[in-house]
Structure 1
Amino acid sequence: MTVCRSPALLFVFVALALSGCRMGVPIHVWQAPEIESTVGKDLVVAEIAGPKAITKPLQEKLVATAPKDSGRAMKITRAGDLKAHQTIRLVSATSEEPSDIATMSAAKQAEYDYVLRGEVLADRRPESIKAGDKRLTLSWRLTELGDDQSTGGQPILIDRESAIERYPDLAFVADEDELLITAAARDTFRLLAPSIQRDEIALAIPYAMPGSRAVRAGNIAALNGRWGEAQQIWSEVVDKHPTQIAALHNLALAAAAAQDFTTAKTLARKAVRRQPTLRNKKTLVWIELTQREYHRAFGLPDPPEGWFVTQ
């Protein structure tokens, strides 16, 4: 049997053993509102322009499903339910619908904070294409009712495939209009409140080093969403095998998954000091950027430890 004694190959083997490979794993992180945070505020949803078969249930869905959890709660009222509704009717653009100006005036009188105006945009694709690919396109505009009005807008486009990808539970909704309307309401709240988005991170996969098999077992747990179990496994490996940098790296990501960013950065910086590879440096940057987005989403002050790598 021929044994390869090439120093170059030996160096490659040692490098792989130390750094390992990478494994993409999904993780859910918080992102800031895409237009402006209306958390803790009172909003009026104006009459949405477009086909009534879509706009009426969409407006009702927005009111019924407004976020109520801590850090995201807001109050939403239909324009037609304002106490000043009769006043709105006097200056309506038509006999059936209040004008935007009238809605904003009545909302301001009632001391609401914002008016959300929307329009369902026409699908101008050929009928042959629309028949097999139904979609819903919306244009939203948010207006603040303070002394200095600030307005922001954002389009939303929803089709069945993208809706189910973001919200897997909608795969069980048989009615396509209901699916699109529900997804549109959820996407609308992403414009106004912190929301969770799916990201992907790279876990280290070590080989040949002590504790490598256990680290890989933790990776499988994380891949299946069992981050608590993975964190426990990696923590035990780090305690038993301090030279197992892959476990330290992955443990930092587990802390970030739990929104414990202070611990995550401490572990990630330790991994960089012990093994300043590009992977470890990128992970430290990702953790701090994710922490910044978390603080921005919820309006939090800078962390006590400050920012290390993102200024």
Structure 2
Amino acid sequence: MTVHCVRSLARCAFLVACFTSLGGCRMGAPIHVWSPPTLRSTVGHSVMVPKIVGPQELATPIHEKLLLAAPADAGRSTRLVSAESINASTPGFDQGVSLVSYNADDESDLALAKKAQQGHIDFILRGEILPDRRPRSITEAGNRLTVSWRLMPVSADVQAPTEGRPLGKPVVVELESALERYPDLALAADKDVALQSALVRETLPLITPAVVRERVQLEIPYLLPGTQAIRRGNALAVAGRWGQAEAIWQEVYQRYPFSSVAVHNLAIAAVAKQEFGLARSLASRAVRMKPTKLHQQTLVWVERAQRAYHEAFQLPDPPEGWSVTRTR
């Protein structure tokens, strides 16, 4: 048997496996979805941010950048204020007895809570810069910034149970990964400014909804009607052009309504534009048409994405409820 024959047989075997296997063939594509706050949502509330504890050459610019970065868009609007502004803006503000802590520059929780209550503040977000304990011989030394954050509810209106959520979380930013995630920071004046800006961007998702990048699995058809068109749509989705990809998959589905591949990929495209009801309907249809492992996994992922969206913006459960995921 010639080498050419062996290669042809191997290629055919691969195509047949993709065509007949329950799992199907797939490819990864990036997609952006909403994620709920890591600690607790402060949307629609006021948050007092006291001076950050740590070296002031780092703490002061982080504090200033964070106050300026308070989101104001619908669904994420949060009021961030400094402790000093409470003193100046609250008529008849009573300093009372200054309770000391272990750090002379760090006001106690009780003192801050009293100040926040007098200023009608809902939450306190406290930060402390943690030292880099790694050996100085490590080449990355000096290129990492860590701040430990702690969120404290103050007003009676927000004293609800935390539902198992942590009250604090450290945010760790490394220069190389920060520049990859935020390419615009390469234009910063120096590495300290880049690290500080990246840390602020990573801090806001602790208390407000945030867009996160995930990787989803698109299905690749073989030896089926509409194969070439679906592959073109897949390539567009990988490039982030979900609208164009959806149009191609929709055309394939209209011509070949038995294409479970087109239905599956359309379900993911619906998530990309936050049409979760449509996405769940399409994902369920793909499972009914062909109950592969990929289709079942996608159905669960779609509902999880919808749950995260509802939790991020504190929306009620959808009328149809939840069918394949459990309440957290």
Same-fold call, TM > 0.5? yes
Q: Is the 8 Å Cα contact of residues 204 and 249 (structure 1) preserved in structure 2?
A: yes
Residue in structure 2 matched with residue 278 of structure 1 by the alignment: 293
Structure 2, unpaired ranges of 5+: none
Q: Which amino acid aligns with 1:282?
A: Q
Deviations 1:15-46 (A, max 9, x none): 52366521100111111100000001011101
Residue in structure 2 matched with residue 16 of structure 1 by the alignment: 18
**Pairing partner for 2:47 from 35, 43, 49:** 43
Secondary structure, counterpart of 1:82 in structure 2: helix
> More deviation in 15-24 or 219-228?
15-24
> More deviation in 25-34 or 127-136?
127-136
Structure 2 CA distance for partners of 1:57 and 1:12, relative to 1, 3 Å: closer
Residue in structure 2 matched with residue 242 of structure 1 by the alignment: 257
Report the alpha carbon displacement of residue 170 of structure 1 after superposing the two structures with TM: 2.1
Measure, in 1, the Cα distance between the counterparts of 2:196 and 2:322.
Answer: 41
Q: Is the 8 Å Cα contact of residues 234 and 250 (structure 1) preserved in structure 2?
A: yes
Is it true that 1:91 corresponds to 2:80 in the alignment? Answer: no
**Pairing partner for 1:257 from 248, 268, 272:** 272
Residue in structure 1 matched with residue 228 of structure 2 by the alignment: 213
**Pairing partner for 1:225 from 240, 250, 256:** 240
Measure, in 1, the Cα distance between the counterparts of 2:249 and 2:149.
Answer: 45
Q: Which amino acid aligns with 1:52?
A: Q
Residue in structure 2 matched with residue 52 of structure 1 by the alignment: 56
Measure, in 2, the Cα distance between the counterparts of 1:97 and 1:154.
Answer: 19
Residue in structure 1 matched with residue 282 of structure 2 by the alignment: 267
Point out 4+ residue stretches in structure 1 off by more than 6 angstroms: 1-4, 9-12, 94-97
**Pairing partner for 2:316 from 296, 301, 305:** 301
Residue in structure 1 matched with residue 35 of structure 2 by the alignment: 31
Q: Is the 8 Å Cα contact of residues 15 and 222 (structure 2) preserved in structure 1?
A: no
- Let me know the Cα RMSD of the aligned residues: 2.6
Q: Is the 8 Å Cα contact of residues 19 and 223 (structure 2) preserved in structure 1?
A: yes
Q: Is the 8 Å Cα contact of residues 89 and 95 (structure 1) preserved in structure 2?
A: no
Measure, in 2, the Cα distance between the counterparts of 1:299 and 1:174.
Answer: 38
Residue in structure 2 matched with residue 162 of structure 1 by the alignment: 177
Alignment of 1:58-97 (within 5 A): 58-83=62-87, 87-88=94-95, 91=98, 93=100
Q: Is the 8 Å Cα contact of residues 134 and 141 (structure 2) preserved in structure 1?
A: no
Structure 2 CA distance for partners of 1:220 and 1:116, relative to 1, 3 Å: same
Taking structure 1 as the reference length, the TM-score comes to: 0.90
Residue in structure 2 matched with residue 118 of structure 1 by the alignment: 127
Q: Which amino acid aligns with 2:46?
A: D
Is it true that 1:138 corresponds to 2:147 in the alignment? Answer: yes
Q: Is the 8 Å Cα contact of residues 245 and 275 (structure 1) preserved in structure 2?
A: yes
Q: Is the 8 Å Cα contact of residues 133 and 159 (structure 1) preserved in structure 2?
A: no
Structure 2 CA distance for partners of 1:301 and 1:131, relative to 1, 3 Å: closer
Structure 2 CA distance for partners of 1:135 and 1:206, relative to 1, 3 Å: same
Q: Which amino acid aligns with 1:91?
A: S
Taking structure 2 as the reference length, the TM-score comes to: 0.86
Q: Which amino acid aligns with 1:74?
A: T
Secondary structure, counterpart of 1:33 in structure 2: coil
Report the alpha carbon displacement of residue 168 of structure 1 after superposing the two structures with TM: 3.1
Residue in structure 1 matched with residue 116 of structure 2 by the alignment: 107
